[in-house]
Amino acid sequence: MSISKTLEDLEISLLLEAIYQRFGDDFRGYQKEAIRRKLHAFMLVHDISTISTLQDCVLHDPTYIDPLLCALDAHPAGLFDHPKHMRELRKALIPWLRSCPAPKIWIAECSAAEDVYAIAIMLMEEGVYHKTQIFATGANPMLLSEAREAKFSLSKLPQYEENYLRAGGTESLSDYYTQVDDMAVFRNELNRNITWAQYNLGTDSSFNEFELIVCRGSLNDYASRLRRRALQVFYDSLPAFGILSVADADYSDLTPLISRFTALSSKQGLYRKVR
The domain limits of the chain are: 3-73, 83-273
Tell me the pairing of strands 194-198 and 133-138: parallel
Give residue 222's identity as a one-letter amino acid code.
Answer: Y
Mean pLDDT over 93-111 rounds to: 95
Phi, psi (rounded to 5 degrees) for 265? -160, 90
Whether the Cβ atoms of residue 235 and residue 267 lie closer than 8 Å to each other: no
Check whether 54 has a pLDDT greater than 60. yes
Summarize pLDDT for 172-229 with one digit per residue, the tens: 999 999 999 999 999 999 999 999 999 998 889 999 999 999 997 678 888 888 888 8
Which pLDDT score is estimated for 184?
96
Question: What span, in angstroms and rounded, lies between the C-alpha atoms of 37 and 191?
Answer: 34
Specify the fold of 83-273.
Answer: Rossmann fold (3.40.50)
- pLDDT > 90: percent of the chain: 77
Separation CA 136–CA 120 (nearest Å): 11
Which among 106, 44, 52 is positioned nearest to 71, based on CA atoms?
44
User: What pTM was computed for the model?
Assistant: 0.92
pLDDT of residue 227: 86
Q: For residue 202, how many other CB atoms are within 10 A of its CB?
A: 18
Task: Please check whether residue 186 is in contact with residue 116, taking contact to mean a CB–CB distance below 8 angstroms.
Answer: no
